[in-house]
Every structure is written in C-alpha cells, then in structure tokens.
Amino acid sequence: MRGSLSVVGGRLSVVAVAAIGAGFSPARAQAGGATHVLLVTGLSGEPRFATAFHAAASSIFDAAKARWGVADSTLIYLAEDPAGDPARIRGRATRDNVAAAFATLARRSAPGDVVLVVLIGHGSGQGADSRLSLPGPDPSAADFAGWLRPLEGRTVALVNASSGSGDFAAVLAGPGRVIVTATKSAFERNEITFADQFARALTGDAADADKDGRVTLLEAFAWARREVARGYESRNLLATEHAQLSDSALAGTVAFGLGARPADPRIAALMDERRTLEAQVDALRRRKGTMDSTAYESELERLLLAIAEKTAAIRAADGKRP
C-alpha cells in the first residue's frame, strides 16, 4: 500500500489493506443494482472558487452520465448559480432543494443500489452543528444525518469535500456508509484542494491501481490525499487540510467506471473470478444483520484477502508489480 490513510475510528486493518485495488462494479452491473449521484456546490464567495467548485462537480457529472451509466432522473447537480450551466445544473443549492434531492434519491433508488453524494464548498461550525455554506439557511451535519436515514439498505458514499468538514464524519458514519471529509476537524477552514484532486481521482485513470477501468472509493481517497500532500510539499507549505475516511473496508468494495474486458484470456478469467468474489462480498453484506458478528468479520476478511490475491495475480499477469 502506498502512503498512509487517515481512518476514522481506528487503524487501517488487514481487511482494508486487502480491499485496496479490489474494486466493485459501480452500478453493480453483475448484481443488477444501480448508481445514483447528487452533486452540491455551495456559496463560493469569490469567482475563482465558483470556477473551481464547478470544474470539480461538472467533471463528476460528466463521468456519471457518460461512463457510469447513471440515469438522468437520479443524476442531480445543485449549484449556487444554476444559470451558469443550465445543461448540467438542475436547480439552486438551497437547503430545501438539497432536502428534496435526497428525498428523490430515496424514492427512486432501491436497497442494494449505490448512492454517491459529493458536497463542495465552504464550511463552518462544529459537531452536529457543522454546516455547508449554501444560499439561504445553511444545512447542518444533523440535517444530512436525517436526510440519509431513508436511504437505509443502499450503499451510501457521502464526500464532503469542503473546508471545515471534519466533524461530518462522526455525525454521519454508520452501517452501509462511507463518509469522506476533506479535513480532519472543523477547525481546518483554510482554502482546500481536496475537491479538485478527488474529482480527478474519481473520473480519471491515475488512481486506478489495478488498471481494470474502475476506481474504488478507497483508491480515489488515497490518490487524492497523496496529491494534496504533494501540492503542499511542492510549495514548501505546512498542510492545512487532512482528509479522512470512515469505512476503509467498504470503500474498497465500491467503485465507479465500467471496466473493459481484457484481450488476454488469462487476465479475463482472473477478473471474472474476482468479480465472483466481489458478488459474494455484496451478498455477505446483505446478510450481515442475520449473522454472528465474529463469523461475519471472519468471512468478510477471507473474501477480501481472496480478492486482493486475485488483484495481485492480475497485475503479475499484466507485467505489473503486485
């Protein structure tokens, strides 16, 4: 594993290490689920922030539409100024509109689906009162916790790529959720660069460690965090943002991007075997509530380690270092 990861609630475990690079179908094409996306960009304060916020959000929007197969009905982009890009932006990013967007995703998604929420902007406050700056009343972390409840049964990835976002992690973390924040606390409120790097990781090829055409949330997080650190180092500046992630094991099994089938039959067979294991992980997660916790963790670790072994074999067969 390259570099270090900040993980909320404990150290990175062997299960999480095994999950890095393993990947999972974005819309769970093999399992029949779907992917849904909500993008929210908040108050910018300055034109340069407005430009940066929109660049990051629009790149994710385009990838979701063109590469991930997200339906128009559940690809929702809310922004400070909808007139700036009416082809992509559905409405103004007000508290009421964000609440309505969550309600739409809850109605149109089903258990087993993946819901990706990306928040980009400026933040303030602490704990459950941490807020995202939007036109009009600012929604709090507690508000988002309430909006997430109807999404129970879905795999939810909420990325708060905003300044001062650190306290969102503890408030929103829960079963079936991956929470990513651009900062480790509510007090890291300087300008951040994580949103740009995370969007690059999620929509490009650089973070795809096993080159299977899919980027896991864990791969995207690790790549973006590393690039943010490099940016500060290159300018000889002390880093004022430290991204964190709440569930590294789950993050390693959710990915975006439809991988093309390789020409080499050996690699294709290995990828098929890995996808079978990934489907078993998904099925296991669905049974979690009915299983003994020790048995569940043991079986999950076994499957993730098997996935990691397949990934190493794929990279070796492709002439890459495991």
Q: Does domain 14-256 have CATH number 3.40.50.1460?
A: yes
The full set of domain ranges for the chain reads 14-256, 265-317
Q: Which residue has the tokens 């899919």?
A: 214
Q: What is the pLDDT of residue 261?
A: 60
Torsion of CA 241, 242, 245, 248, to 10 degrees: 150
Could you report the average pLDDT of every consecutive run of 10 residues in the chain (322 residues)?
36 36 35 81 97 98 94 97 97 98 97 95 97 98 98 96 97 95 96 97 89 86 97 96 92 77 79 82 84 92 90 78 42
In terms of Cβ atoms closer than 10 Å to its own Cβ (0-12, 13-18, 19+), residue 135 is middle
Query: HEC profile for 42-58?
Result: CCCCCHHHHHHHHHHHH
CA distance 239 to 7: 18
Q: What is the pLDDT of residue 29?
A: 32
Residues 254 and 37 sit within 8 Å (Cβ to Cβ): no
Q: What is the pLDDT of residue 263?
A: 73
Q: Which helix (H) or strand (E) holds 99?
A: helix 95-108
Alpha helices in 164-263 (DSSP H): 168-172, 194-203, 217-234, 248-251
Cα 208 from chain centre: 14
pTM: 0.79
Q: What is the pLDDT of residue 272?
A: 79
Q: What is the pLDDT of residue 166?
A: 97
Q: What is the pLDDT of residue 75?
A: 98
